[in-house]
Structure 1
């Protein structure tokens, strides 16, 4: 991690062209929510329309530093760039006062340590969005997941494979939206840290599930948008007192969101999905994996924080900056499973993963650390693959 506030330099290149180095992009969205609008809505002053996406044809892209702003046009996609990205642009300023972009360049991440050569298969199992506490929810798929992990289900080959799972990562939203205080759903986003679980049933169910899992394999549980912890990033670990039965096992690890760990020599970094979902709302990019890739290329896990994604104010450094390339980079609570082995110009490789929301897809992701092959595993009362 490093300091996001970089020195601003203007370098002359080939006559009138310039490289504007390490300046932040800023989106000008006509439909972007405003804190003033939220306060007005809270006091019933102005009714605000609810939207899933906040892009329009009138959006502009602005490059800014501490001293000035300039509008970007030319060879840059306005609708897929997002506020907070740090980028170097090559081009020139025209008479209309706009900067015409010819080329762009992002930061280079440091080379990670080489992956260890594993002699046999070792697996990480990712799952997110269990959504416990939802009224009328069928837990059959979740019980199938637990039974397969604990060796009580599946063929001999499947049991042998899942016996080699060395870590389970629960990537946020173990509880559903239904466990939130209904008054919070009508509260301005800047007060989102007040989110709390109003029913203990979901927590009890989660404790039961965790107890079965941690008795067999280490489990790292991350908080998410609907979990009872602070709502702003970085989210602090769920308190172990909520899981009295699972807490009896040393294999229960309550971790932060974003998450970083070294597992069998692999550097794993990921989130419960809020940064990717937030960028999706403010761009026209439909591919969540491409959005995750953009955050890796720009070296920042959550570029839209604190603009549209709440985060804790840091004075001297930005904890969301990536200074070293991870081996595995994931985002939880997405619409579907996707994977890609991304490689930069220097040959550095990183496996990108989007983990589907289990409550909607009944699916988790099994990753082989020896081969870096990731597959979706679907748990259903009707079929499993």
Structure 2
């Protein structure tokens, strides 16, 4: 019988200023506050990094497009002079006619037929703007027109250009903060450890195939299934991270169409504990052999507001008894075998994806590193808490592994970039290596991803009947 570990769902470790634990404070839940503070904090923090990078790229640059004067930095957008080459820093705002607005919310409240939800907000009539404390200016020019998968509301950007006769700002070049400081990868073992990443278990779904795949995953991680090679791989797995959507969304559509007998009091037919009991049993079985980190997702029973807090321990009473199980936030930082892991359950990338014409989700994930911000669409179209003292979604450190859960298919890329020198002490000459992993929905693909902490190598394992 396992011994209860009181610290299983206790307060997270002391907050690292470079790697926040995303645990919210009581004051963060006061929704009477304005979200303008969050945008202002974002601009204040990232402006310094963006400005340093802009100066390195553009200081001493010769004439451009026939403008003879060298570029200079203009601190306020409304102080830009017509025809003068300069660079400015501000918050990107994309005016998108197709983006949801408050009028649609009011229509739903008043039972007026609202437009169906769109998969994409992008359209040919979108306009990119830059704003700061002084005002807003429209950005025009070939770099703006040709860019794909770059401009999203809420990002901080520097633009090099000049004001036109019509009052727009013609952009010749632009840049973002870039990757912040990354600590050296120092593996604790020469061959490294393997971390298993899975998402979208969808426990409680009506799919028998998904249940079989889940059982096969458990047997693999416990070293009870497969050939000798499979068992050797399982032994090397030092941690399992479940990146959200472990429980399926309740399916009440079919039952709502059938006439129901009128009842009085609580209607218990809409609730069943079977999905959480199944997840609890699965984690309890695994936690005896491998540490399990459980992140919440869009369909899990916790607050949908970002950053999502851990699922309550009362939902998983048996798992909470094991030291090997820990409820985590979404997003989530951890260090395994000398490598830093950072990831989300997918809502951040899914929301950014709606802003862009591009279908390249892996490119979108890489772009968030370039922005030094993982959730620029918070709070515009992605719910988040109204923080007044920090923007927790700013990246102050570059992880070695960046994973995104609940994506349509597995994708991975090892990116290398020269990180700018920043206020955290980054080395401008160092090359930063990041393994980006898009983790597919396990209930649909039967796939789990293994990442090596020493080499950042990835393996994909697929579980299905007959394979």
State if a TM-score over 0.5 links the two structures.
yes
In structure 1, the partner of 2:85 is 17
How much has 1:170 moved relative to structure 2? 0.1
Q: State the partner residue of 2:185.
A: 115
Q: What is residue 370 of structure 1 aligned with on the other side? A: 454
Asked if the contact 2:93/2:154 (under 8 Å) is kept, the reply is yes
- Answer yes or no: is 1:98 the counterpart of 2:158: no
Report the CA distance between 1:198 and its aligned residue.
3.5
Question: 278, 290, 298: which is aligned to 1:225?
Answer: 298
Alignment map for 1:229-378 (pairs within 5 Å): 229-346=302-419, 347-378=431-462
Deviations 1:101-122 (A, max 9, x none): 1111111443322111432241
Matching residue of 2:230: 158
CA distance in 2 between partners of 1:369 and 1:180 (Å): 42
**Superposed displacement of residue 79, structure 1:** 5.3
Offset at residue 181 of structure 1 (A) = 10
Quick check: 151-160 or 42-51, which moved more? Answer: 42-51
Q: What is the SS of the residue equivalent to 1:238?
A: coil
What is the distance in 1 between the residues matched to 2:119 and 2:327?
Answer: 31
Does residue 56 (structure 1) correspond to residue 145 (structure 2)? The answer is no
Please give the alpha-carbon distance, in whole angstroms, between the structure 2 residues aligned to 1:95 and 1:276. Answer: 38
Q: Residues 91 and 155 of structure 2 are in contact (CA less than 8 Å); yes or no, is this contact kept in structure 1?
A: yes
- Does residue 146 (structure 1) correspond to residue 221 (structure 2)? The answer is no
Alignment partner, residue 185 of structure 1: none
Counterpart CA distance in 2 for 1:180 and 1:257 is 26
Gaps of at least 5 residues in structure 1 are 183-196
Match of 1:88 among 151, 154, 158: 158
Deviations 1:286-312 (A, max 9, x none): 011100001010000101000000000
> Secondary structure, in 3 states, of the residue corresponding to 1:5?
helix
Farther off after superposition, 341-350 or 125-134: 341-350
Please name the residue that 2:206 is paired with: 135
Structure 2 counterpart of 1:168: 240
- Structure 1 distance, partners of 2:221, 2:351, is 32
Contact 2:181 2:396 in 1 (8 A): no
Does structure 2 conserve the Cα–Cα contact (< 8 Å) formed by 1:299 and 1:322?
A: yes
Structure 2 contact 192–337 (Cα < 8 Å) conserved: no
In structure 2, the gaps of 5 or more residues are 1-16, 19-40, 56-69, 73-82, 255-269, 420-430
Asked if 1 retains the 8 angstrom alpha-carbon contact of 2:339 and 2:454, the reply is no
**Is contact 1:222–1:237 with CA below 8 Å preserved after alignment?**
yes
Q: Partners in 1 of 2:244 and 2:314 — Cα distance?
A: 18
The answer to whether the aligner puts 1:381 opposite 2:465 as a matched pair is: yes
- Greater relative CO, 1 or 2 (CA 8 Å, sep 6+): 2
**1:176-255 map, 5 Å:** 176-178=248-250, 198-255=271-328
Q: Spell out, residue by residue over 1:112-136, the C-alpha distance to the aligned partner (whole angstroms, 9 max, x if none).
A: 2211143224100000011111124
- Is this contact kept in 1: 2:401–2:456, CA < 8 A? no
Q: What is the count of residue pairs matched by the alignment?
A: 369
Q: Does the 8 A contact of 1:41 with 1:48 survive in 2?
A: no
Mapped partners of 1:110, 1:50: distance in 2: 36
Q: What's the TM-score, normalizing by structure 2?
A: 0.75
Q: Give CA deviations for 1:194-228 in whole Å, capped at 9, x if unaligned.
A: xxx93311111111111121111000000000100
Q: Which whole-Å CA distance do the structure 1 matches of 2:202 and 2:315 have between them?
A: 16
Q: Match for 1:45 among 112, 117, 125?
A: 112
Q: Which residue of 1 aligns with 2:266?
A: none
For residues 344 and 375 of structure 1, what CA distance do their matches in structure 2 show?
A: 23
Indicate whether 1:126 and 2:193 are aligned. no
Richer in helix (by share): 2
Question: Matched residue of 1:4: which SS?
Answer: helix
| More off after superposition, 239-248 vs 257-266 | 239-248
Give SS of 1:344's match. strand
SS of 2:439 mapped into structure 1: strand
Q: Secondary structure at the match of 2:160?
A: strand
Does the CA-based 8 Å contact 2:185-2:454 persist in structure 1?
Answer: no
CA distance in structure 2 between the aligned counterparts of 1:180 and 1:312, rounded to whole angstroms = 29
**Match for residue 133 of structure 2 among 44, 52, 66:** 66
Picking from 15, 30, 43, the partner of 1:5 is 43
Q: Which structure's residues are more often strand, by fraction?
A: 1
